[in-house]
Structure formats: structure tokens, C-alpha cells
Structure 1
Amino acid sequence: MNTLAARIELIQPEIVAFGSGTIARVAQFAREKGARRPLVIADAFNAARVDLLGLPGDISVFGEVKPEPDIPNLEKALAVAKAAGPDLVVGFGGGSAMDLAKLVAVLGSGRQKLVDVVGPDKVEGRDVFLVQVPTTSGTGSEGGIRALVTDPATENKLAVQSRFMLADLAVVDPDLTMTVPPQVTAATGVDALAHCVEAFTSRKAHPAIDLYAVEGIRLVGRYLRRAVVDGSDREARAGLSLASLYGGFCLGPVNTTAGHAVAYPLGTRHHIAHGLACALIFPHTLAFNMPAVRDKTREVLKALGLEAPDDPRAAFDTTYRYCADLGVEMRLSALGVPREDLATMATEAHAIRRLLDNNPRDLGKDEILAMYEAAF
């Protein structure tokens, strides 16, 4: 864990507009910047409500963003960008849409290809404005500098990190999340929780980020159940939107750990939604890490409003019940994952060193396989 004097850079969008009705800020920004050719990157549902953005000019829409987008999905979006020649890119949707919007914004000029920018700080620049508008409360991608896309040849996620992918404007309007169904609300809410918990307990944890992490956990504890029970609860939706944003702030300077590494193969190999994968895995990695970060783990549980035992098994039971009671499916078998794939998944997860090296406790391949077996 880093001390208070350890170096850290906090990189956040130049403007964050938060609150009910702030979607109007998108059109205002576009007019201020003189945008005439906006390109919206969205999933099919949000592509059908692009009018909510109120964008000026000749609007183009790529409305085919897939859950867990892959390289062919990105290439389709880039083809639309090439034809449109946008001066403004808007990510409108969940983390998948916002991640693709980041990549389209930096690759749309054609000067660089995806293979040139995979990894940290390889992007050379950006010629267009970038606005991010989340419609779910989970990824916090609107506040960060990373984008993920799956390589179908290897079934692994490729991560691009660059400050050039940071939004000029992030508009977090909780009203846009009112249509998210209960099960998705639950899973994405635990994804936001996992971002905060993993950053708080990471080997790279820093007091400058801990305040976002702990408050994000408290917000999830206070509001997630309410939003699942009543999706029209505006206060609960706002609390989750803020928790998601705080989780995004945690990702830039600290990033995630074992929870996300173990969850990734569920998405890349079996197309399980990212939020659901993270929620299913959450109790397993929290309990595994507890011996290395006992006090912080107990603080996490207290912030969630749960019992805070000293025993990892009891911590597992508590958080498993918490997720299951929200309606999250906690069995890999029920999600169509075949048992014979577990060992391959464990090998793939163990290779994600950019995340596992942040974990507070060393996690071997056999231990990952044991988690999958327990979750099966």
C-alpha cells in the first residue's frame, strides 16, 4: 500500500456535469465548440433515443455496440467514422459504448491502428472532441483513460490507456438510468462496488483515491437495493450514478485487481455481461484477499452496511448473500459455462498480470481454478 507521500496523478475529465437534467449540457457543449458533424457511438437501445442529446449539425450514429465489444465491432465503428469525418464523438450507453467511443476518437483519423496503441501511453493524439454520457451505473468509463476491446483470435481483452482518451465533457444524468431493469441494475451496481473495493485494497492503493473508493462503497450500500426494488427512485439512481463515477476515478491512477482478472474470461469466452461477471466473482476474491487486507476488508463491509467479521469464510458468506439477495445469479453453471472450460479460464485469468500484480495477495492458477469450481 502506498503512503500519503507516494506520488500519484489524478486525471479526470475537464468538465463533469452531474445531476438530473444535465443531458442538456451535451448540446450546449457541441454548440460552444462549433461541432457540425457529431458521431454518436451507442448500443441499439440508446441509438433509438439519440434525439435526447439534442446535437446540432449533420449527426451520424453507430448503433451496433455489442456487450463486450471485440475488434470487428470496433472496425465497424471506425468505418462509420471514416465516412462521417466527425468533429465530435459522443459515447452514449454503458461501458462498452464509452470504451468504443474513446477508441474511435483516437483512431478515427487513421494515423494509428489498434495494434499501435495497445498498452499504456501509446496514443499520439486526438483531433476531435470527446463527450461521454453513461446510461448505466457501473463501469465509470466516463471518468477514466482506459478502453477495453476483445481480440476474438485469443479471446483476451486488449487494454488501451491514454490521457488522450479522457473525455472533454462527462455528463452523468441519473435520469438516463431509470430504464435499466432490476437484474442489470444489481450487476452493474456491484461492478461499481468492485471498482471501489479493488482500488481500496490494491497494492497501489493511495489515500488520495481511498476517499473516492470508500464513499463509492457507502453509496452502493445505501442505494443499490433501493434502485433494484424501485427503478424510478430518483435519489437511489443518483446515488448509484455517483458511486459509478467515483469508481471510474479510482481506475485511472490505481486500477482493479484480481476480481476483474478472474471475471474477464467469463465475458471474453462466454459473453457474460461484464457487470454480472464481476458481481459473481466479487465474494470469492474479497474473501481470498482478506488475510492480506483484513482491516480494509472489514471497513468495506461496514461501509456496505453489512456485518464485518474477522473470518474470511464469514466475509464470503456475507457478501455472497448480499449479491444473491439483489437477484444476481451466482452460479457459473446457470450461466452456461461448461465445467471443462474452468481450467482454461484459470490459465487465461492468471496471465492478466497488469491486474493480478496489483492484488494485495499473490493469486496462483490453482487458486483461481478453485474459485471457479466454488462458483460453478
Structure 2
Amino acid sequence: MTDLLHPIEIDRPTRIAFGPGLVGTVGKWATEKGITRSLVVADAFNAARIDLLDLPGDVTVFGEVKPEPDIPNLDAALALAARVQPQLVIGFGGGSAMDLAKLVAVLPGSGQSLHEVVGPEKIAGRRVALAQVATTSGTGSEAGSRALVTDPATQNKLAVQSRHMIADLAVVDPDLTLTVPRAVTAATGVDALAHCAEAFTSRKAHPLIDLYAIEGIRLVGRFLARAVADGSDREARAGLALASLYGGFCLGPVNTTAGHAVAYPLGTRHHIAHGLACAVIFPHTLAFNAPAAPEKTALILDALGLGGAPDVLAASHGYCAGLGIEMRLSGLGVSQSDLAAMAEEAHAIRRLLDNNPREMSRERILAIYRAAL
């Protein structure tokens, strides 16, 4: 059976506003909808600039989103939502804020707990409007139907997927990313790259998504180094914002593979930012999967300007290191003694590893951690 004969369903935000200066679109849209009571879910930095949203009526802010949100962080946001009873929930920030906003939009008043909705399509519905405003270029969460929250008891990420968590409005204003520091720009840019590359080489890859995946990789190859070198480069920022959005398009119907599975324990156990964790792991899983997807791997390297490189690992590792990313796990506080437990946890993430083009054993994951140490 060819890829074209595999059925696929694609869900997108009802409305997407992309371009510099469009952050105020959410306020105009809310006014058109007659919204008078909103709840903004944001990190501390973005909570201080909610005036940019130009929201009408009463606006409440939950400005305590953590970089790797956990259940207590979500519970605090849900408690505020239960008190405020918003008509509109807005995620304003990176993937963490937007993921929490999705859950805040669907759980209050639903009679469902977080653990009851973990997995695909278990959410009963949504009674409030949902808007997402991205302020980083990496996760593409503004376009997606998934939300991830860490369970402190197990140190695992709980993944919720539902069409009810797709935004009514997604705003991608690249000018909001002009303040993102160089190191974060680099790491989140590689996260967007990983979304596209993993979807492109996945067992579930589909021509309809390949289109977004390879173009997202080309955009990263063209603009990421520029944005890292000069954060005020507005064209580069816009290119990365589009790459991130395309990566978000890849996540719904195809999703990521081993790269994200292997990266997750770095965030849950060591609180390494998600983009950075993905960047450290990306070259290793790209190289591991190359024998199973040689033609697509060659296209990925070409799109990054690395065409013809004889060693996939060396080329992709050099690309990430050239962006100034710390590529050693030891440099990020991970010790040798942590690796076996991390490999065990990563190997259990079947929802991603089962998408991988090559079977990846626990021992292979451990070998990747050791190589990255």
C-alpha cells in the first residue's frame, strides 16, 4: 500500500493570523464575538505584556506557567478558571502556556479529571472559546490538538489529544519573538526542525504532511542561523515562526518519533527545557534512522545546507553545535548514573517509538545517551 492510500485526517485552527503586528487580532476577534470575560494563561514574562492583546472587558491573568508544566501548575490554573468562569481562554507564550491553555479551556465544569482524558479523543467537549498566541518559534502548539503535562509522581509526561483543544483562533506574530534570547532561539528552532524531520521520516509519514515537513526544514535551514546571529532580523524571525507553525501541522496527524521520546526524560527528570533536550538528541536519532529512510534523510540534510555529508551524525551534530547549543548531556547536569533509568522511561513511550522507522531498543536508547553524554 502506498502512502497515498493511507487515510489521514487534518484538523486546523478555525482561523490563523500570521504576520508581523497581528498580536492585536485576538482582541478584535474577541470583540466581534462579544467576549467580555477572558483568562490569559501565560508565563511571567508574557503576563507583563498582555496589553498587546488588546482584549475587551474583564481580563484575568494566570501568569505562573512553568517551563515544563506539571500537574500542580495545571491545577492552579484550573482553580483560577473555575473562579473566573471565562468565556475565552488565551494561551500567550510558548508551548507550555499554550498546552495549559488547552486544558484550561476544556476541563473546568466538564466532570472529567486530567487522568481521565489522557490519550486520544477522550475529552467530552468545550464550552468556551480558545485562542492561542505564540511568542516562541519551536513547538507549533498553536496549531495542534495535543497538550503535555508532567506527572511529578511518575516523572512522565501525560499526553492529551483532542479535537476539542484546537484553537478557534491562532495568532502567529513573529515580532513577538524578537525578545527571545539567542540560546532559546537556537534550541527552539531545532525543536521545530525535529518536529518536521521526525514527521517526515515517521512510519506514519504521508505526502500531505511531507509538504509541510520538508518546507519547515528548509525554512529552518535558511533562517535559524540568521536569527541566532541577529535577533532583530525580522525576516529571519518570520521564517522561523512559519517553520514552527508547519511543524505544528505535522504533529496532529503524524506526530513525532524516537527523537522526542528520548528527549522527554531530560525534561521530566532534569528540567532541561524541551527545545534544548530535543536539540541534543536530534543528531543521534536522525543518524540512527538514516538507514531506514536514506532518501528522506538526504533531503533533510540538503534542506539544512548539509547536502553530501558522508556522516549524518557528524553533520547534524556540527550544525546544532554551530548554533551555540550545548550538545553534551554532562554539560546540562546529567550524570552517567541517570542514563539507565532514563532509557527505561524513554523506551516505555510507545505512542512515539512505535512511529519510528527503525525499532529502537532500550539498549540503543542507552547507547544514544552515552554518546551524547
TM-based fold match above 0.5: yes
Q: Which residue of 2 aligns with 1:34?
A: 34
Superposition map of 1:329-368 within 5 A? 329-368=326-365
Distance 2:67 2:144 in 1: 19
Distance 1:145 1:209 in 2: 16
**Scaled by the length of structure 2, what TM-score is found?**
0.99
The letter of the residue matching 1:315 is V
Q: Is 1:2–1:205's contact at 8 Å kept on the other side of the alignment?
A: no
TM-superposed CA distance for 1:5, in Å, is 2.3
Runs of 4+ in 1 over 3 A off after TM superposition: none
Distance 2:12 2:26 in 1: 18
Gaps of 5+ in 1: none
TM-superposed CA distance for 1:305, in Å, is 1.1
Q: Is 1:2–1:203's contact at 8 Å kept on the other side of the alignment?
A: no
Superposition map of 1:195-274 within 5 A? 195-274=195-274
The letter of the residue matching 1:320 is H
Gaps of 5+ in 2: none
The letter of the residue matching 2:211 is L
Q: Is 1:31–1:56's contact at 8 Å kept on the other side of the alignment?
A: yes
* Number of residue pairs aligned between Structure 1 and Structure 2: 373
Q: Is 1:2–1:204's contact at 8 Å kept on the other side of the alignment?
A: no
Distance 1:32 1:223 in 2: 36
The letter of the residue matching 2:121 is D
Superposition map of 1:1-376 within 5 A? 3-309=3-309, 311=310, 314-376=311-373
TM-superposed CA distance for 1:307, in Å, is 2.8
TM-superposed CA distance for 1:83, in Å, is 1.0
TM-superposed CA distance for 1:33, in Å, is 1.0
- 1:126-169 CA-to-partner distances (Å, cap 9, x unmatched) read 00000000000000000000000000000000000000000000
The letter of the residue matching 2:39 is L
Distance 2:201 2:31 in 1: 42
- 1:166-186 CA-to-partner distances (Å, cap 9, x unmatched) read 000000000000000000000
Are residues 60 and 335 of structure 1, via their aligned partners in 2, closer, same or farther at CA, if it must alter by over 3 Å? same
Distance 1:64 1:216 in 2: 31
Matched residue of 2:40: which SS? Answer: strand
Q: Is 1:331–1:375's contact at 8 Å kept on the other side of the alignment?
A: yes
TM-superposed CA distance for 1:2, in Å, is 5.3
TM-superposed CA distance for 1:110, in Å, is 4.3
Distance 2:283 2:303 in 1: 15
Q: Is 2:289–2:358's contact at 8 Å kept on the other side of the alignment?
A: yes
**Scaled by the length of structure 1, what TM-score is found?**
0.98
- 1:285-316 CA-to-partner distances (Å, cap 9, x unmatched) read 0000000001100000001111334x5xx110
- 1:83-133 CA-to-partner distances (Å, cap 9, x unmatched) read 111000000000000000000000122421101110000000000000000
**Larger CA deviation: 291-300 vs 102-111:** 102-111
Matched residue of 1:38: which SS? Answer: strand
Distance 2:362 2:325 in 1: 26
Q: Is 1:94–1:134's contact at 8 Å kept on the other side of the alignment?
A: yes
Q: Is 1:307–1:318's contact at 8 Å kept on the other side of the alignment?
A: no
Q: Is 2:37–2:88's contact at 8 Å kept on the other side of the alignment?
A: yes
Identity in percent: 72
Taking only aligned residues, the RMSD between alpha carbons, in angstroms, comes to 0.9
Distance 1:182 1:100 in 2: 25
Q: Is 2:110–2:124's contact at 8 Å kept on the other side of the alignment?
A: no
